[in-house]
């Protein structure tokens, strides 16, 4: 801008007399701004846009479906979507794009709902694909699905309230009289201001069966008929009864849902044909490609989205020799092939948002449906009473048809016909108008007799309706009958299968662990040290806490497992690689804390199981010993804690690992020693075996310690060795003690 022109503009802006370019700034407290400007907007979003009501619909859904109903699309042929969208704008002023988005989500072609409300023709996209966008509204057609017969049932019988449209030119329903709990059947999500709603869908038939059971017994077990949610995209729910109970009770919580897949050996590919409702094929493929680029997934040659008219399909080409099960377990953990659905059952009740559990939702829907049914019955009752009233007047004419004709013929003015009939037959104005409107050809005895014959049936129907209207139990029976018919008419199989967590193998390939020799030291208080060979050579004396001492030590490898036996008949599994390398001058790792043991639980022993091909011998205070195969402690899943890991009949004293058949030593509290060969013990595969008697003990005495014979020095072995068990052993003589024996068997505590 030239300098002269810029100066002119600046003068205009700074001149307070120039109207529209300089105005006074008004001050307003922020609280007042929030109250007058922000709060109305927030309430409008909550009440009129984002949160569904007890009929399971948001206002945008309701306006669209009601417009289609008024257009005759419940039983008529499909119409262009653009035409439907244009008509809906008479009720919904938010623009054609928003209305068409709503139509797409409710359509069968989009596959977002288990029970779609719109029968669509053309490309409506797919909920499980971000890239498969829907066609423009001028290319697609739609009409209402048959299930909408149950949505609009008796809407013209005063079952719901109507209100003015936004411009006041027509009426629209505040709710739709759904004959089944659509609020549970249709998946729904919305984000309002300061709150949100996330409702998972349930199977229509299971919801109807559950509602029937609830109407009969409000304390019924919901899980008998409604085990879990169901999704239009299928998949598998990783079922946890505790998690599901929390969701059913509070309306909040989450559960895992995973893809379904199959391996095709001929092509060496994995086909993923169902995915979680919370993700899309594009997100999954992008993530797997990204992991491959990062080098975290090396087993895949190629991945393609082969979704077509036959359904969803993600093809994963595998490299030669890849285990498909291990790869899928890995992808489940690293991608949205397994995802979490977070529930937030937030529903509007009388304009107020409430988070409710499934039973409370059924309670509210039942109360609303009972009132809606009562209004319908009352409407039918009034119509029948009005008809009966007219027929009662018609009966009077039977007394003298000629008189009625004469009254009409002899009346000079039309306005006097009705009053003259009222006087002539003693009927009221409504009845007289009805008689006066009968066509001349119908003023005969046959016609009048046929019409008045309905009187008895009407009186019977009225009595039944009045009895039902005044009996809550009968109204419930009406609702149950309707639900049973819906259940039979709209049968849909469950799409989402249930799989229990303990049925899923944990076969994820772990990152390679550095393998090197280490020496393990365990103190009596439960402190563990893992010291490398180099550190051990350079270290001095082992450091322990005051009043603590060494319990045992052994050599191992950093890649090995560790079995930790405790005084609660529990065994904890750990990886030595999970422990930091330490030094002799440090206390080490406190196992009860590291392994999250129960309060007061103490460590008795640790064992390096190697490849789980060997046996261990468990020695108990009562003098028994159990030889157990380490294979009994192998688990398919990556469990850290094994309960009931050994017999609880007597306290555990020692755990001895057998490399081969060898001699074992037992020492009792009365200083008796026994030496026997391990071949006398038979290996058991059950962890809970009580073992067999090894050392015969005197009353009040117990087995105190046990170890390998190679771990001690014993001068006169023949004195203590036995060939059969159980045996009492011999008193340990001072001259038979060795220095190594004293350090292992005679330390205090």
Which two three-digit tokens encode residue 608?
């390096």
Please report which helix (H) or strand (E) contains residue 375, including its range.
helix 358-398
Alpha carbon 421 to chain centroid distance?
70
Q: Is pLDDT at 22 greater than 60 in this prediction? A: no
* pLDDT tens column, 585-611: 889 999 999 998 999 999 999 999 988
The whole-number pLDDT of residue 746 equals 53
CATH of domain 260-336: 3.30.1360.40
Predicted confidence (pLDDT) at residue 326 exceeds the cutoff of 80: yes
- Whether residue 9 is predicted with pLDDT greater than 70 in this model: the reply is no
pLDDT tens digits, 394-403: 888 777 788 8
- pLDDT, residue 48, reads 66
**How does the average pLDDT of the chain come out, rounded?**
88
C-beta of residue 179 within 8 angstroms of C-beta of residue 486: yes
Q: Identify which has the larger pLDDT, 257 or 715.
A: 257
Domain ranges of the chain: 1-35, 51-173, 260-336, 369-489, 517-662+678-695
CATH number assigned to the domain covering 51-173: 3.90.199.10
Q: Which residue in the list 66, 100, 128, 139 is annotated as catalytic?
A: 139
Question: DSSP string of 384-399?
Answer: HHHHHHHHHHHHHHHT
Question: CB–CB of 264/315 below 8 Å?
Answer: no
Looking at the domain covering 369-489, what would its CATH class be? mainly alpha
In the predicted model, is pLDDT for residue 698 greater than 50?
Answer: yes
Does the annotation mark 139 as catalytic? yes
Q: Is the pLDDT of residue 112 over 90?
A: yes
As a whole number, mean pLDDT of residues 368-396 equals 91
Domain 517-662+678-695 has CATH 2.120.10.90: yes
Phi, psi dihedrals of residue 417, rounded to the nearest 5°:
-60, -50
Q: Cα(366)–Cα(369) distance, rounded to whole angstroms?
A: 5
pLDDT tens track for 35-91: 777 777 777 666 667 889 999 999 999 999 999 999 999 988 999 999 999 999 999
Lowest mean pLDDT of 107-111, 188-192, 387-391, name the range.
Answer: 188-192
Q: What is the CA 207 to chain-centroid distance, rounded? A: 16
Q: How confident is the model at residue 24 (pLDDT cuts 50, 70, 90)?
A: low
Nearest Cα to Cα of residue 175 among 192, 186, 163: 163
Instruction: Give residue for tokens 């897949």.
Output: 261
At 131-161, the pLDDT tens digits run 888 999 999 999 999 999 999 999 999 999 9
CA–CA distance, 455 with 739 (Å, rounded to integer): 116
pLDDT over 90 at 450, yes or no: no
Q: Which residue has the higher pLDDT, 400 or 647?
A: 647
| Structure token digits, residue 193 | 């201001």
Q: Do domains 51-173 and 517-662+678-695 have the same CATH topology?
A: no
Asked if pLDDT for residue 473 goes beyond 60, the answer is yes
User: How far is Cα 275 from Cα 231, in angstroms, rounded to an integer?
Assistant: 10
- pLDDT recorded at residue 510: 53
**Higher per-residue pLDDT: 191 or 49:** 191
For residue 411, what pLDDT band results from cuts at 50, 70 and 90? Answer: confident
């Amino acid at each position: 801008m030239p300098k002269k022109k810029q100066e002119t503009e600046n003068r205009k802006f700074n001149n307070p007399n120039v109207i529209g370019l300089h105005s006074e700034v008004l001050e307003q407290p922020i609280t007042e701004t929030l109250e007058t400007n922000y709060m109305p907007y927030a309430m409008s979003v909550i009440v009129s846009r984002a949160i569904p009501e007890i009929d399971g619909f948001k206002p945008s859904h309701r306006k669209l479906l009601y417009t289609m109903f008024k257009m005759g699309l419940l039983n008529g042929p499909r119409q262009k979507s653009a035409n439907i969208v244009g008509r809906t704008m008479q009720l919904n002023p938010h623009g054609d794009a928003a209305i068409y988005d709503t139509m797409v989500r409710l359509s069968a072609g989009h596959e977002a709902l288990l029970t779609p409300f719109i029968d669509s023709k053309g490309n409506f996209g797919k909920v499980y694909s971000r890239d498969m966008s829907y066609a423009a509204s001028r290319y697609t057609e739609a009409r209402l699905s048959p299930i909408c017969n149950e949505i609009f049932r008796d809407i013209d019988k005063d079952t719901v309230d109507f209100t003015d449209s936004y411009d006041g030119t027509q009426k629209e329903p505040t709710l739709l009289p759904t004959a089944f709990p659509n609020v549970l059947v249709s998946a729904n999500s919305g984000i309002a201001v300061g709150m949100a709603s996330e409702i998972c869908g349930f199977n229509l038939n299971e919801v109807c069966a559950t509602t029937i059971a609830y109407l009969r017994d409000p304390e019924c077990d919901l899980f008998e008929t409604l085990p879990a949610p169901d999704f239009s995209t299928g998949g598998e729910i990783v079922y946890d009864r505790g998690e599901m109970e929390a969701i059913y009770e509070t309306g909040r919580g989450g559960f895992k849902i995973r893809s379904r897949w199959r391996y095709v050996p001929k092509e060496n590919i994995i086909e993923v044909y169902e995915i979680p409702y919370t993700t899309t094929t594009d997100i999954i493929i992008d993530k797997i490609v990204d992991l491959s680029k990062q080098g975290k997934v090396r087993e895949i040659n190629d991945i393609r989205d082969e979704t077509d008219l036959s359904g969803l399909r993600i093809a994963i080409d595998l490299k030669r020799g890849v285990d498909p099960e291990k790869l899928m377990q890995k992808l489940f953990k690293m991608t949205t092939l397994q995802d979490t659905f977070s529930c937030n059952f937030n529903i509007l009740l009388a304009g107020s948002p409430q988070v409710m559990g499934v039973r409370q939702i059924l309670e509210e829907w039942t109360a609303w449906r009972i009132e809606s049914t009562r209004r319908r019955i009352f409407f039918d009752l009034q119509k029948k009473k009005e008809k009966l009233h007219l027929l009662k007047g018609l009966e009077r004419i039977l007394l003298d048809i000629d008189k009625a004709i004469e009254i009409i013929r002899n009346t000079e003015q039309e306005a006097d016909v009705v009053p003259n009939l009222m006087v002539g037959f003693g009927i009221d104005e409504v009845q007289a108008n009805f008689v006066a409107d009968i066509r001349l050809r119908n003023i005969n005895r046959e016609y009048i007799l046929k019409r008045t014959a309905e009187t008895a049936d009407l009186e019977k129907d009225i009595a039944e309706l009045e009895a039902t209207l005044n009996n809550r139990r009968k109204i419930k029976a009406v609702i149950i009958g309707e639900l049973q018919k819906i259940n039979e008419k709209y049968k849909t199989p469950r799409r989402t299968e249930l799989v229990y967590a303990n049925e899923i193998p944990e076969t994820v390939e772990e990152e390679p662990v550095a393998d090197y020799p280490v020496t393990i030291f365990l103190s009596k208080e439960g402190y563990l040290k893992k010291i490398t060979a180099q550190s051990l050579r350079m270290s001095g004396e082992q450091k322990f806490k005051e009043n603590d001492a060494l319990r045992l030590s052994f050599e191992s490898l950093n890649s090995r497992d560790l079995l930790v036996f405790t005084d609660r008949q529990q065994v904890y599994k750990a990886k030595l690689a999970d422990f930091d390398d330490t030094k002799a001058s440090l206390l080490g790792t406190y196992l009860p804390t590291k392994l999250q043991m129960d309060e007061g639980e103490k460590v008795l022993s640790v064992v390096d199981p190697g490849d789980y091909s060997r046996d261990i011998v468990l020695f108990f205070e009562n003098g028994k010993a159990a030889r157990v195969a380490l294979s009994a402690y192998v688990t398919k899943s990556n469990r850290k804690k094994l309960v009931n890991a050994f017999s609880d009949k007597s306290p555990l004293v020692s755990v001895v690992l057998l490399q081969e058949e060898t001699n074992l030593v037992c020492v009792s509290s009365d200083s008796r020693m026994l030496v026997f060969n391990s071949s006398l013990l038979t290996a058991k595969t059950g962890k809970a075996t009580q073992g067999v008697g090894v050392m015969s003990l005197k009353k009040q005495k117990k087995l105190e310690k046990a170890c390998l014979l190679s771990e001690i020095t014993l001068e006169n072995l023949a004195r203590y060795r036995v060939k059969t068990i159980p045996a009492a052993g011999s008193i340990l003589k001072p001259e038979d003690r060795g220095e190594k024996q004293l350090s292992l068997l005679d330390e205090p505590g």
